[in-house]
Amino acid sequence: MIGQKARIAPSILSADFARLADEIDRCEAGGADLIHIDVMDGCFVPNLTFGTKVIETVRRLTSLPLDVHLMVVQPEKYFDDFARAGANGLTIHAEVAPHLHRQLYRIRELGCRAGVALNPSTPLEMVSEVSGDLDLLLVMTVNPGFGGQSFIGAMLDKIRRARAMLEASRSGAALEVDGGVARDTIGDCWRAGADTFVAGNAIFSAHDPVGEIAELRGRCGVSV
């Protein structure tokens, strides 16, 4: 990935919602590439978070692309509303999407980038037949549902295998990682083949969130 830029996607799951506009301003000032929005339904994962109104609010606050991660059952029920609300990318979980090809097509039809996420225990084979149709492949490096969890080290090999799979299918998809991304883990993920990094707690709990984004990118050996 010589010359490629590491993309940083701050997750607002860890932001202070009483100061959301300020938090997003800091992300922009730090050079963030995307804003990551976690949608959880309390069913697929044991937490309940954001919906259409939050996506609409964040859309008004920034021109950065909105990277919307649907941790929900029957994700297709939300595609139209989230696209209208301002999502630029919709990522769904293979575990709850038995008709992946159809769903990816529909996401693109709505003008959004189409992504698929895999839980730590879900094999890459779940997406091998659609790897050439992806705009983004998200490898979860924690079990989804809550922010601030520790990175699962065994996922580094999965990231390597995911990169090899994408290259074998001549896919131009981004390879994103989410979960426990911080100063001590991001470099290993980058070297394993990831190029896009969701970081919530690492950025929003930092003394200097603006500087932390640059620090994280720097750990990939890439200048801002």
Give catalytic status of residue 135 as yes or no.
no
89-93 and 113-118: which strand pairing? parallel
- Alpha-carbon distances, residue 27 vs 9, 19, 100, 157 (angstroms): 9, 13, 32, 30
Q: Identify whether the C-beta of residue 68 lies closer than 8 Å to the C-beta of residue 91.
A: yes
CA–CA gap between residue 93 and residue 120 (Å, rounded):
12
Give buried/exposed letters for 128-147 (b at 16+ CB in 10 A, else e): eebbebbbbbbbbbbebeeb
Phi-psi region of 64 (alpha: psi -120 to 50; beta: other; left: phi over 0): beta
Catalytic residue among 38, 67, 135, 195: 38
Q: Identify whether the C-beta of residue 91 lies closer than 8 Å to the C-beta of residue 116.
A: yes
Catalytic residue among 41, 67, 178, 195: 178
Give catalytic status of residue 208 as yes or no.
no
CA–CA gap between residue 224 and residue 222 (Å, rounded):
7
- Report the catalytic residues: 38, 178
